Each structure stands twice: as C-alpha cells, then as structure tokens.
Structure 1
Amino acid sequence: MTSPTQSPAHPCAGCGAGVAFAPGTTALRCPYCGLEQPIAPPARQVREHSYEAFLAKPRVRTVAPHRFTCPGCSARTESDAISKTCQFCGTALVADTADDDQVAPEAVLPFVLDRGGARKALRSWVRTRWFAPNRLKKVTEAESMKSTYLPHWTFDAATVSDYVGQRGEHYWITTSYTDSNGRRRTRRERRTRWYPAGGRVARDFDDVLVAATTHVDGDDLGKLEPWPLKEAVPFQPGYVAGHHSLRYDTEPEAGLQQAKGVMRGVIEGDCRRDIGGDVQRVFSVDTSYSGVTFKLLLLPVWVGTYLFGGRSYQVLINGVGGEVQGDRPYSAVKIALAVLAALAVVAGVVWLYLANHA
C-alpha cells in the first residue's frame, strides 16, 4: 500500500510559496516573505496503544514507499520518508500515514532549535574538543545540517519481579602481620558475612524510550537524552512540514525487547535496595509484565555530516536542548604534546620526592 501526499497547510497567503514549520513556534512560516500561519491546536491528547492488541492484528512485513505528488510543481517521487521537501521546487511534502502499512506516528516533539541555534551549539561543542585539529572549527562552521525527525518507540508497563540473592554485612577484625623491618604489627581488616535473601518488587514504567531507526549511531543518539517527552504533541502534518522525517526500521517487537533491557537494569537496582545491607548479590530475577502499551514518537534532531582529511564524520544535535554528540578527528600533535606534558609533571613529582628523601 502506498500513501498519497498530505498537504500540511494552504500555500502562503502572501506569496503563494510553500510553508514550513518554524522551530520554537506553533506556526508554519513562509521562507520567502516570512508570513506565518498558526497550526491548529490538537483536538485530542497523545494516546498510548495496547501492545497486545497490536500483536493480534495481521502484519504486512514488506512496506511500500510513499508516493509523493508535489502540489507546487506536480513532480511525482517515491521515498521511505514520512516528510521531506520536493527536490525540484522545495515545497514541503508530508505523507498521509493514516492508511500506511506501518504503525502511524502518534506524537511528535517539535523542533525548538532553529538552524542558527544548531550552528551555535555545534560551534560550542567544537571549542571543547581539546584534541581536535584547529582546522575542524572552520570545516564544521561551513557545513550544512538537515533538520530530521527520528522515530522512537516509547513503552509503558507494570512489572512484578521475584528475585533471589544475598545480603552482605560488613564487620571488622584485627589481624597481625610482619612488616618489612621484621616487626610485628596489627591492622584492621574488613570482612563480609553473607545471608540468603529473596523477595518481590514492583514498578510501573512510563515512556521507556527506544530508538526505532538504525540510520544513525545508536550510542550517539542515546546520549542526546534527556528529552522533554511530556511536551510532545499529537502528530500533525504541520509540525514536520519542511523537515525530513524517517520511517522506522526497528519493529515494535524488537523495540520492546530493547525496552525490557532498560527495565531490567532499573529492576535490579530495586532488588538491591530491597535486599539492603552493605552489599548485595542478585542471582536471578523473574519479571512479569502487564498492561504493556506503546506509541511511535518523532524526536527532532539536527543531523550533520562533514568531510575532514578524506573521512566522513557525523554529528547529532538535540533539536530541543542543543546537546551535541558525534564523531570528530584527533590531532596527533596535540595528543603528543599532552603526553609529554604529563610525563614532565610525573618527572617533576619524582624529582621532588627524591630530593626531600635524600
């Protein structure tokens, strides 16, 4: 099944050009004359969807690309993106996801950082990369970036976990030993007594976030957190108009397994606190999940790539808070100078020690 183009708004009332969502506002703005059109307030709240009901529905594993017909120049194109701009005239294009074979986006966290704000965040990030070549500053400032909504899953669940482990309690004893001069000495040493432990803990999870795309580095994407998820709004085409939006390529089933991995770490912490004592051992945890719900959420990220020394590097910028993560080159000269400086400090400390103990 293919999706037709969905127009996010009428053309600009001032000049007839296509309009795009203006970061930091609730309006569509014409890039030529600056006229703004407000996006209608949502008529509903962001909803969570039953994961059990989702599994009961028939699935289509092969997903057809969206077909776009540009309202500006009538060009017809196909793309896996949910939203993009026409490559011929620049008109904002948004697919109608209502009849898509994939799960439709439920919510979107709109961009707050515009292009100027993203460049400012990137320049600040570059200045703190101490071991990067000086030429990197000029390269990154000259590169363009693309505002992109990246798909994520959020999961809610009620959990009950039975665990088995041990509680460790410290105690101290006095021991004797012979020092290097042959004299008998005593010292206090810590020991631990272990006691069996077991019990049950319960926790409700809300909005456990999992990336639903493999097109960007997962580690860097995860480091862009935290996100103000409570500020997400119900999906409307206007919020993604003029920006690129990716379809998901991580299915909900795989996303839930990743979310459970996040939950397991939190649950183990609950078990340790329940065990108490000075230290804990957790041997096994058996968790049951109930009331699992999920939704597809689009998060705003400025994605930039640049070439340096014949290699391509990618940077990601949180489109709300401005956090920057990504790759960068290293300067061999700066690293060598830092190593020499550290060696000089160590040599100075050794010299002072020997001089005071001569």
Structure 2
Amino acid sequence: KFATQQEKLKGMYIPYWTYDSKTYTKYTGERGDDYQATESYTTTENGKSVTKTRTVTKTRWHSVSGSVNNIFDDILVLASKSLPKKYTEKLEPWDLDQLVNYDEKFLSGFRTETYQVDMKEGFVEAKLKMEPIIKQTICKNIGGDHQRISTKSTTYNNVTFKHVLLPVWISAYKYNSKVYRFLVNGRTGEVQGERPWSWIKITLTIVIVAAVIGGIIWYFNR
C-alpha cells in the first residue's frame, strides 16, 4: 500500500534462441558399491577398556568407462543483455510447443528488443544447460551406489536452432524512494523481480523463531 506506480506496464517481445541437439559422450570414471563389514573398536565401560564389534558401511570402488547418448529439444537461451537472468530464468517454463510463425500483427502494442547474443555465443550457454543432464545420464549408466566422473568428451550432432520472441510484461514501482522492477511471463502470468524487504519485520521474525526454539528446548529439558 506504500508503493507508488513508477512506470506503466510495458509489453515487450524478448529475443531468445532455442537449440536442438543429439549428443554422444565418452567417459571414464569409477563405480562405488556399498557393502557391510564388521569392525572392532575399543570403548570404556565402568572404568575398563573393552573391545566390541559393530557393522559399518564401506564402499568398494572400481574403474569404469563407457559412452552415453542424449537428445535435447528446445534448450532455451536468453538473447538479451538488458534483463537480469536471475529473474528471466525463473519466468520459465515457457509453452514452446505453442510457438507460431512470425506475424507482425502479434507485435501490436509491444516493443521488440533486438538480439544482443549471437547464435554461437548462445550455443555456448546451451551447452552449459545440457551439461547437468549429460552428467546425470553418465551416473545412471555407471550404476552402483556412488559414481565418480574422471573424464568426459561430448560431441554435438544434428544441431538446429530457432530464434524466437517471447512476450514479457515489464514494470517498476517506487517504495521508500527506491525503484523496484518486476517481470511477468506474458503466457503463464508468472511474476519475478525485486521486492522491498522490511528489516523490522525480518528482525521480529528472527526473534519470534528464536523464542519458539528456546521454549521447545526449555520444555524438553525441564
């Protein structure tokens, strides 16, 4: 209720790249299989040193190597440098299966931003997004209870791309003399952006939580 409108809600089409690729990755690493073993240990009971046994979990490692294949479809990469990625990434997912061919009538009432990230630069980022999925596939292929990846080499095949424009509503508001910007996914309504924090409320919350925890500790130790 203390916020005042700083900017009107603006509709913008933000440029993105999407990439498709098939990948082939060769790897070396280690597979760890857990097993149960009995070990002896020494402890003190009634002032005397005694030896006891216990069951522990240990891991047996052995070397592995292999290869995996992945298929990636519509890896989305922001082609704008004017919007913070920490917010645009949280606007995802986009319903990319609903993309249509370019038509100027869709741009009515919207501003359009030009591409600031070229196709090659965008594919470098797309590879980074593929990386965790490739690692997951390797770990699944290695099997066992634990996995270690020592080396890997990926080949990217049948790479295709699309340049797309996605609708984002952008606005800002003023709160306590500071301007906060927020973004809205024009397809799903997902909202992300900056927000003011009340340090008084945060401090009170910490005090209340600490009091509750202290009360629980006192109750169980009385």
Q: Do these two structures clear the TM 0.5 threshold for a shared fold by scoring above it? A: yes
- Whole-Å separation in 2 of the counterparts to 1:190 and 1:198: 25
- Alignment of 1:296 onto 2:160: no
- Alignment of 1:164 onto 2:164: no
- Whole-Å separation in 1 of the counterparts to 2:181 and 2:85: 12
Deviation track 1:72-93 (CA, whole Å, cap 9, x = no partner) reads: xxxxxxxxxxxxxxxxxxxxxx
- Alignment of 1:210 onto 2:107: no
- Whole-Å separation in 1 of the counterparts to 2:207 and 2:42: 41
- CA distance change for structure 1 residues 354 and 155 in 2, over 3 Å: closer, same or farther? same
- Alignment of 1:287 onto 2:151: no
- Whole-Å separation in 1 of the counterparts to 2:45 and 2:140: 43
- Whole-Å separation in 2 of the counterparts to 1:302 and 1:277: 47
Which of 65, 75, 83 in structure 2 is aligned with 1:198? 65
Greater mean alpha carbon deviation, residues 173-182 or residues 316-325: 173-182
Deviation track 1:127-155 (CA, whole Å, cap 9, x = no partner) reads: xxxxxxxx45x446x85211111000001
Structure 2 residue identity aligned to 1:168? G
Which of 12, 22, 33 in structure 2 is aligned with 1:148? 12
Which of 147, 168, 182 in structure 2 is aligned with 1:315? 182
Shift of 1:191: 1.2
Gaps of 5+ in 2: none
- Whole-Å separation in 2 of the counterparts to 1:181 and 1:284: 53
CA RMSD of aligned residues (A): 1.8
- Whole-Å separation in 2 of the counterparts to 1:285 and 1:312: 46
SS at match of 2:106: helix
- Alignment of 1:189 onto 2:53: no
- CA distance change for structure 1 residues 242 and 193 in 2, over 3 Å: closer, same or farther? same
Higher relative contact order (CA 8 A, sep 6+): 2
Q: Trace 1:3-152 onto structure 2 (pairs within 5 A).
A: 135=1, 138-139=3-4, 144-152=8-16
Deviation track 1:331-352 (CA, whole Å, cap 9, x = no partner) reads: 0111111111111112112211
Shift of 1:293: 1.0
Structure 2 residue identity aligned to 1:149? Y
Greater mean alpha carbon deviation, residues 219-228 or residues 309-318: 309-318
Give TM-score, length-normalised by structure 2.
0.92
Gaps of 5+ in 1: 1-134
Match of 2:123 in 1: 256
Deviation track 1:296-349 (CA, whole Å, cap 9, x = no partner) reads: 101111111122222221111111111111111110111111111111112112
Shift of 1:197: 1.1
Match of 1:343 in 2: 210
Structure 2 residue identity aligned to 1:164? T
